[in-house]
Structure 1
Amino acid sequence: MPHPVTPALAGIPLEFLLFAVVLAMVAFAHVSTMLTALGGALVITIYKVLWAPFGEGAGVAGLLAHAGHEWVGLANLLALLLGFALLAKHFERSRIPDILPDYLPDDWKGPFVLLWLVFFISSFLDNIAAAIIGGTVAHSVFRGKVHIGYLAAIVAASNAGGSGSVVGDTTTTMMWLAGVAPSQVLHAYVAAGVALLVCALPAARQQQAYSPIVKDAPAGVRIDAARVAIVAGVLVAAVLTNVLLSVRFPDWIGVFPFLGAAVWLTLGATALWRRPDWHELPGALRGAVFLLALVWSASMMPVQALPAASWPSALTLGFVSAVFDNIPLTALALRQGGFDWGFLAYAVGFGGSMIWFGSSAGVALSGQYPEARSVLLWLRHGWHVALAYVVGFAALLVVLGWQPHQAGA
């Protein structure tokens, strides 16, 4: 069935030009990023309804069908961003971050080890939670002063950690559900490990020079066991829900936001034991609305196909994912086939770390550290992330080479 024709300028669909203007304003204009993203989403939506058909059809009917297709993913993202913001405060008030200086090295190796801990956590847990936990620990062990280059590295570590695990990132889970064997994405860790090493070394030294790690934990710190149990309960609920849906009930994934619901049901069930810090929600909501507006706008782009599967096209997709939602990119790649899924998982996962709004982990962390919401500062101080992406990709190419598979093959 042919795809609907969409208006274009010099061969470029007008939706892409509108989206590019929105991204440029977010990156460089000194206006509210949330209002810019919301305004851009509204303009693109109206344009699509009046002049350019959705992939599901034209006009209001097409809009409703598209919303029906996207709402579960958007609702899950909203629930996770807000839920993990509350979880971060539980974790902070558990006092665990306060005792970590006794267990982390006292020099630049302390922030270096912390990045690898974020990497490990993200291998089995959502990258949003891993980034927020990393940001919470960093706030404590660095006296509240965290370098933007180090924040970029935390996001990179959280995205790298999930790239080789089919339960560590939404995109790898999508591949698994489409028939890609877990072993066919596992080698993404070759690239991810090299990339994290490349960016973690300069980032750790940046942080140690900016605000050294606390050498000793304060005297008399008492762990709040109840809050520790709540944090553990929420994380276990999220992991079990993700695995259960993926293994036993894959057809339910697109029906209801079960993952976000599991997080919120656990938070609600434990609210009488330890009250969540509800005042965290307004700030988290602003960041969530911003990201949802960008994801919604990206979902309306008329991308019917990707360049032919090859390692150069996979490398390019990593840079594209820094500004374009990686979920539709992954869906298109699965439909097209012929990719080396480990390369693709690494590219669309780690690539989003190069700009602060390129991944949900970056947006979530910027809720804790608003100073990170600057593309220029992120690129200037987090230069090592883009370098690490290329070096990691090259390492995987040299070590294992491009080994394409069809989904399900």
Structure 2
Amino acid sequence: MSEILQMVLVGLAVIALLGVVLEDVIHVNKAKVTLFLGTFSWFLLYVFHSDSPDESQAIGLGFEENVSEIASLWLFLVAAMTFVAYLNKKGMIENVILLFLPKRIKERSLLFLTAIFCFIFSSLADNITATLVSVTLILSLNLSTKKTVRFATLVVFAVNSGGVSLITGDVTTLMIFLEGKVHILELLMLSLPAFSAVMVLALLLSHGMNETVEINIRHNEVRSVDLMIAGAFLCTIISTIAANVLFGIPPVLMFLMGMATMFLIARFFNDDKEEEQSILEYIRVIEFETLLFFLGILLLVGMLKEIEVLDSIVRMYEILPPFVANFLMGVLSAMIDNVPLTAALLKAGIVMSDADWLGLTYAVGVGGSLLVIGSAAGIVAMSKVNGLTFASYARYCLVLLIVYSLGYIASVALAQLVLGT
């Protein structure tokens, strides 16, 4: 492969990264930028590689492997997000929230309840949905701008923290799991240090939150079919964990079967013949913009692996211990989207212990919370909360760094205690 082609392909990857960072400046959707440059880079690789038959075959195999990995991730996310889209549309999620909230509550207590809800809900749903639901609740309270920003900051950190211990909660966790670096039961260990870090942050942010909040409780009508589908969602999550542990069944297979079960329940147990949306229509409600962004990013990372550019990432792990390198990767994920960063690390062939892989899972999952632009949850919250800006969020940067560090240290320590080095 010529050096010119390699430089061009690396340049396209850099342009894609700049397109993500500068999305608000150039007003071009990051999904469109990354998808075009991801597909175009592979096109160039096919057309302008050397005439060697071995290299041509290697590129073909590399692309097939890349697409296969993306397909597994895509199908899993489509199934999980369809479940959540249905339950959210039917008001089931809002009902669960209001079930635990009184009409009057102290701001301090509400802050802790918000943290607990965000942590649990983001383990089951995608980060974007969890953030949207939580932010909508916060905005309905009519708090002052300063307190709203404080709540939103907690939401971002709690949502990102909740997703790291289950494959249904965070894309980077799912990616690391699908590569066989961690196992489901090992991931569950992360829930304790991650939850503890969220509670510490809630405690730090609760200073001065002493007023009483009035909550308008309005329950949505719940039909039997909605309850059955909610039960099917919970059963799918539990069976996915059990099937993988006992039989090694891929999570994507269990979630596709769960989604099919949801369709059948809606078809045979729904008495409402005038349903506004067919059950299949809920697939269109999911965040395809996010899925297309992942597709473009993973195509770019696959291309960088193919031209052996990712080998440079390994050098940090040759210079620094994995404990330190993983921590820095988490901090870096606040500036570089954690999806391409995680994909690059997985493709780089890094060798670490199980405890270190769990530490990396926590780092890249939670590290993006250090800056409001560092995660999908932060971007969504910033778009919905008027007072939440880069600067207003940055006021809590030091507190977030301290809490992130405590969670990371606790995660690695617990993993080494249970799994050994």
Q: In structure 2, what is the Cα distance between the partners aligned to 1:280 and 1:166?
A: 20
| 2:242 partner letter | L
Structure 1 position 395, deviation (Å): 2.4
- What is residue 124 of structure 2 aligned with on the other side? 126
What does 1:8-407 align with in structure 2 at a 5 Å threshold? 8=6, 13-14=10-11, 16-26=13-23, 28-51=25-48, 58-60=58-60, 62-92=62-92, 95-98=95-98, 100-102=100-102, 105-122=105-122, 125-128=123-126, 132-133=129-130, 135-136=132-133, 138-140=135-137, 142-143=139-140, 147=148, 150-151=151-152, 153-164=154-165, 174=176, 177-178=180-181, 182=185, 186=189, 189-190=192-193, 193-195=196-198, 197-198=200-201, 202=205, 213-218=213-218, 221=219, 223-226=221-224, 229-230=227-228, 232-250=230-248, 252-253=250-251, 257-263=253-259, 265-270=261-266, 272=270, 275=275, 278=281, 281-282=284-285, 284-302=287-305, 303-304=310-311, 306=314, 307-308=316-317, 309-322=321-334, 323-325=337-339, 327-328=342-343, 331=346, 335-338=350-353, 340-354=356-370, 366=380, 371-372=383-384, 379-383=390-394, 386-395=397-406
Q: Deviations over 1:234-271 (max 9, x none)?
A: 43133124213421332545xx5542452353155225
Output the TM-score relative to the length of structure 2.
Answer: 0.70
Q: In structure 2, what is the Cα distance between the partners aligned to 1:48 and 1:241?
A: 41
Structure 1 position 70, deviation (Å): 2.4
Structure 1 position 105, deviation (Å): 2.5
- When residues 290 and 187 of structure 1 are mapped into structure 2, their CA distance, relative to the original with a 3 A threshold, is closer
- When residues 356 and 399 of structure 1 are mapped into structure 2, their CA distance, relative to the original with a 3 A threshold, is closer
Q: Deviations over 1:134-188 (max 9, x none)?
A: 6325524642879566445334212212434677656556559546694687267
| 1:346 partner letter | Y
Q: In structure 2, what is the Cα distance between the partners aligned to 1:372 and 1:362?
A: 10
Structure 1 position 229, deviation (Å): 0.9
User: 3-state DSSP class of the match of 1:105?
Assistant: strand
Q: In structure 1, what is the Cα distance between the partners aligned to 2:31 and 2:199?
A: 30
CA contact (8 A) 2:164 2:190 kept: no
- When residues 261 and 149 of structure 1 are mapped into structure 2, their CA distance, relative to the original with a 3 A threshold, is farther
Structure 1 position 71, deviation (Å): 1.2
Between 176-185 and 388-397, report the one with greater CA deviation.
Answer: 176-185
Structure 1 position 350, deviation (Å): 0.8
**Hey, which of these two has a bigger chunk of helix by percent?**
2
> Which structure 2 residue ranges, 5 or more long, are not aligned?
none
Structure 1 position 340, deviation (Å): 2.7
Q: In structure 2, what is the Cα distance between the partners aligned to 1:213 and 1:260?
A: 42
- When residues 7 and 234 of structure 1 are mapped into structure 2, their CA distance, relative to the original with a 3 A threshold, is farther
Between 76-85 and 132-141, report the one with greater CA deviation.
Answer: 132-141
| 1:380 partner letter | A
Q: In structure 1, what is the Cα distance between the partners aligned to 2:157 and 2:71?
A: 27
Between 169-178 and 75-84, report the one with greater CA deviation.
Answer: 169-178
Q: In structure 2, what is the Cα distance between the partners aligned to 1:66 and 1:359?
A: 24
Q: Deviations over 1:259-317 (max 9, x none)?
A: 24523531552253565754793573334333443344344433245332432211121
Between 179-188 and 383-392, report the one with greater CA deviation.
Answer: 179-188
CA contact (8 A) 2:111 2:202 kept: no
Larger radius of gyration: 2
| 2:157 partner letter | A
Q: Deviations over 1:111-138 (max 9, x none)?
A: 431122221344xx4351x762563255
CA contact (8 A) 1:33 1:290 kept: yes
Q: In structure 1, what is the Cα distance between the partners aligned to 2:287 and 2:411?
A: 41
CA contact (8 A) 1:94 1:225 kept: no
| 1:285 partner letter | F
| 2:368 partner letter | G
CA contact (8 A) 1:149 1:378 kept: no
| 1:349 partner letter | G
Q: In structure 2, what is the Cα distance between the partners aligned to 1:266 and 1:399?
A: 38
CA contact (8 A) 2:63 2:302 kept: no
Q: Deviations over 1:2-61 (max 9, x none)?
A: x99895559x944542332332332532233443333333333334434579x9965455
Identity of aligned residues (%): 13
Structure 1 position 97, deviation (Å): 4.4
Structure 1 position 72, deviation (Å): 1.0
- When residues 184 and 371 of structure 1 are mapped into structure 2, their CA distance, relative to the original with a 3 A threshold, is closer
| 2:323 partner letter | W
Q: In structure 1, what is the Cα distance between the partners aligned to 2:16 and 2:346?
A: 20
User: 3-state DSSP class of the match of 2:217?
Assistant: coil
